[in-house]
């Protein structure tokens, strides 16, 4: 199987869906002439032309609203935010328009739209450009929220998102665009809402998604050196969440650690922990522990970034705590 970059997998997904369906188009800042801020849309303007790969002004609220209106009228827009930090300028269109138009119109108008772009920190970008809003959007009924962790999932999930009749928030990571992985040349789709067990284990379940899957897998490797067998689950989508996959794993391992880049209050890890104790309390042999970013804005200084973000060391401390290997 060929190996391609994360950005190439996203580009293939969009291009294949645009060839398949003339209603699909891409709109956002620098997506056309500049080939995308992160070169995700490189070459797409040449193939599809300026009517389907559309550069916009720096006006997220405006072009998100154009996308919502286009979706309501039968098209299937892909709206790219240069970063989801900037999506806050357009959050009214995402949360109050895209997510609510179907019920508020009594089913007369749908909104098959994808909002996509990078989420989370990307190094020394400062507090305003280093935030995670997966839990914000996942808290909105009417939206689906996807956070892939590798090129294979990115392509299969993005194709499913573009075909979905509901609005989908598709969140990537700047730090993963250059990651490489195996991706088939043949077409495939990955269902939205289906988690994946990426490593089998018996002593503790590690749950994560997106970029933090790297931390989870590295921690599983470190745990194995100390005789701890960790099962690792990639949620892949955080609305809907595949609670059954997590619960079934916890029933086997009896312990759970959740790794998430977002702040701890009202996070995805908060809800996963609640649902597991609700559905599998009698199977737990230790309290559920979470490894989140510290509850502070992310600083510019690299030493402070390292101190704030989830990492392997903090994850190993949690693993040892729940397995009583302190």
Give the pLDDT score at 122: 87
Claim to verify: residue 207 and residue 166 sit in the same structural domain: no
**pLDDT tens digits for 208-258?**
999 999 999 999 999 999 999 999 999 999 999 999 999 999 999 999 999
How many alpha carbons fall within 13 Å on the CB side of residue 243?
15
Claim to verify: residue 170 and residue 237 sit in the same structural domain: no
SS3 of residue 146 by DSSP: strand
Work out the angle at residue 306's Cα, subtended by the Cα atoms of residues 128 and 215, and round it to the nearest 5 degrees: 100
Q: Predicted confidence band at 127 (pLDDT cuts at 50, 70, 90)?
A: confident
Name the active-site residue from 8, 29, 60, 231. 60
Work out the angle at residue 245's Cα, subtended by the Cα atoms of residues 267 and 116, and round it to the nearest 5 degrees: 50
Active site residue 129: yes
SS3 of 158-206: the string is HHHHHHCCCCEEEEECHHHCCCEEECCCCCCCCCCCCCEEEECCCCEEE
What is the number of domains present in the chain? 2
What tokens were used for 277? 């104790």
* 304 found inside a domain: yes
Give the pLDDT score at 326: 66
Domain of 113, CATH number, reads 3.40.50.970
SS3 of residue 281 by DSSP: helix
* 121 found inside a domain: yes
State mean pLDDT over 293-305.
92
Closest of 116, 124, 115, 14 to residue 71, by C-alpha: 115
Active site residue 60: yes
- Total Cβ atoms within 10 A of residue 100: 16
Domain of 299, CATH number, reads 3.40.50.920
Claim to verify: residue 122 and residue 236 sit in the same structural domain: no
Task: Let me know how long the chain is.
Answer: 326
Q: Predicted confidence band at 125 (pLDDT cuts at 50, 70, 90)?
A: confident
> CA-CA distances (angstroms) from residue 38 to 52, 172, 178, 223, 300?
19, 11, 9, 35, 21
Claim to verify: residue 144 and residue 166 sit in the same structural domain: yes
Checking if the pLDDT of 1 tops 90, the result is no
Claim to verify: residue 50 and residue 91 sit in the same structural domain: yes
Claim to verify: residue 159 and residue 241 sit in the same structural domain: no
Name the active-site residue from 12, 80, 129, 231. 129
Strand ranges of the sheet holding 144-146, from the earlier edge strand across to the other edge: 53-55, 24-28, 76-80, 114-118, 168-172, 144-146, 237-239
> Are 252 and 231 spatial neighbours (Cβ–Cβ below 8 Å)?
yes
Query: What domain range is 238 assigned to?
Result: 196-322
Report the chain's terminal Cα–Cα distance, integer Å. Answer: 42
Contacts of 22 (CB under 8 A, 6+ apart): none
Claim to verify: residue 106 and residue 39 sit in the same structural domain: yes
Q: What is the pTM of this model?
A: 0.96
């Amino acid at each position: 199987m060929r190996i391609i970059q994360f950005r190439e997998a996203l580009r293939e997904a969009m291009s294949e869906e645009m060839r398949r369906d003339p209603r699909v188009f891409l709109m956002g800042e620098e997506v056309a002439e500049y080939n995308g801020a992160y070169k995700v849309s490189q070459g797409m303007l040449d193939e599809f032309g300026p009517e389907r790969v559309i550069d916009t002004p720096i006006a997220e609220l405006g072009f998100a609203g154009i996308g919502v209106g286009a979706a309501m009228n039968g098209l299937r827009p892909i709206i790219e935010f240069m970063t989801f930090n900037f999506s806050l300028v357009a959050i009214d269109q995402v949360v109050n328009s895209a997510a609510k138009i179907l019920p508020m119109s009594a089913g007369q108008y749908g909104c098959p739209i994808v909002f996509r772009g990078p989420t989370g920190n990307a190094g020394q970008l400062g507090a305003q450009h280093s935030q995670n809003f997966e839990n914000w959007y996942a808290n909105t009924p009417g939206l689906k929220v996807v956070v892939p962790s590798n090129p294979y999932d990115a392509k299969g999930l993005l194709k499913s998102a573009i075909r979905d009749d509901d609005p989908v928030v598709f969140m990537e990571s700047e730090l993963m665009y250059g990651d490489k992985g195996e991706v088939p040349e043949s077409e495939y789709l990955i269902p939205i809402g289906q988690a994946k067990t990426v490593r089998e284990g018996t002593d503790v379940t590690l749950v994560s998604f997106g970029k933090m899957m790297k931390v989870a897998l590295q921690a599983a490797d470190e745990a194995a050196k100390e005789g701890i067998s960790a099962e690792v689950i990639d949620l892949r989508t955080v609305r809907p969440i595949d609670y059954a996959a997590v619960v079934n794993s916890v029933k086997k391992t009896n312990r759970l650690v959740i790794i998430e880049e977002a702040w701890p209050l009202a996070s995805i890890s908060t809800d996963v922990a609640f649902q597991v104790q609700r559905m599998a309390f009698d199977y737990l042999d230790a309290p559920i522990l979470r490894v989140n970013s510290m509850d502070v804005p992310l600083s510019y200084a690299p030493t402070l970034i390292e101190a704030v973000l989830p990492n392997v060391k903090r994850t190993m401390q949690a693993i040892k705590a729940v397995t009583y290997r302190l």
